[in-house]
A and B are shown apart, each in its own frame.
Chain A
């Protein structure tokens, strides 16, 4: 068992690949002790191995963010073993895309459970110690889709817009305790999720992006690292869009 760390503890959900993986690595390079979650033990082990290989302190743990009991247990263990997270990145997300007319209730509920309810629950658990510590950073990964909408993603867009509203309300509640709550809203980022798109679809996407390229996970992680930093202490309740200009508010 590792001893409690004197570094700042950062918790990143959905940290085994894509944006979450890069966010975890960047927070680690910035000197935090990073705990990144994956839904499988294989994924968690891969995170631990990755951190060891690149010289980051921290580890991967298994967590299904829709399992309330598992979440409570996981956080208790983290708090007692490593210390309470001062940085929380709610990144875990799923998509169940379908035009509204064809959408199944399960698709709606699953997206709400992972992308919205889990954000509420984990933030509530973690903020208690942040308030006591008079320092905290909660960063919720949303999406440009939450602001501009996207055909076939009414569930996803609703959940992401919901997180943005939650972020603003929570930010007001805890601002006086030096706890900030913000969103980072990626546009189209090159990940496993977008790799599956057809060339024609990708070409059509690029037409909408003034920067003329898809985003990289590093573009998003840089924005998260800023909001997590001590320098961002006066920034709260905001959505930081990282989308190459495809949507400007």
Chain B
């Protein structure tokens, strides 16, 4: 099974329509990957779907980079996927 980082990056690539090599851990969705406000909401929804979890709005606001998404998912993933 792919690890969390790979799965997060795959979602980002699909959702934002960017190249894989652009999606570095440090990449900011808005500043580096060109996401607008709707993109970031859709991205969070796609992550929720991929990892079968719910990300509250106040947490979602703090997820601005690929690494932050990986960290959030790693910390909150249901045990069965870990």
Interface, chain A (partner B; CB < 8 A): 128, 131-132, 173-174, 176-177
Indicate if the CB atoms of A177 and B45 lie closer than 8 Å.
no
| Distance of A131 Cα from B46 Cα, bound (Å) | 12
B38 at the interface (CB under 8 A from A): yes
Indicate if the CB atoms of B45 and A176 lie closer than 8 Å.
no
Residues on B with beta carbons closer than 8 Å to the beta carbon of A131: 38, 42
Tier of interface size on chain B: under 10
A175 (CB) vs chain B CBs: closest residue: B38
B26 at the interface (CB under 8 A from A): no
**Chain B, interface SS category:** helix
Residues on A with beta carbons closer than 8 Å to the beta carbon of B45: 128
B14-40 residues at the A interface, CB under 8 angstroms: 36, 38
How many A-B residue contacts, CB cutoff 8 Å?
Answer: 9
8 smallest beta-carbon distances between A and B, as pairs: A131-B42, A173-B38, A176-B38, A128-B45, A174-B38, A177-B38, A176-B36, A131-B38
Residues on A with beta carbons closer than 8 Å to the beta carbon of B42: 131-132
A177 (CB) vs chain B CBs: closest residue: B38
**Distance (Å) between the CB of B59 and the closest chain A CB?**
20
**Distance (Å) between the CB of B58 and the closest chain A CB?**
20
Residues on B with beta carbons closer than 8 Å to the beta carbon of A173: 38
**Distance (Å) between the CB of B55 and the closest chain A CB?**
15
| Distance of A174 Cα from B38 Cα, bound (Å) | 8
Residues on B with beta carbons closer than 8 Å to the beta carbon of A128: 45
**Distance (Å) between the CB of A88 and the closest chain B CB?**
18
| Distance of A132 Cα from B36 Cα, bound (Å) | 15
| Distance of A131 Cα from B39 Cα, bound (Å) | 10
B42 (CB) vs chain A CBs: closest residue: A131
Q: With A131-B42, A173-B38, A177-B38 given, can you name 6 additional A-B contacts, CB distance below 8 Å? A: A128-B45, A131-B38, A132-B42, A174-B38, A176-B36, A176-B38
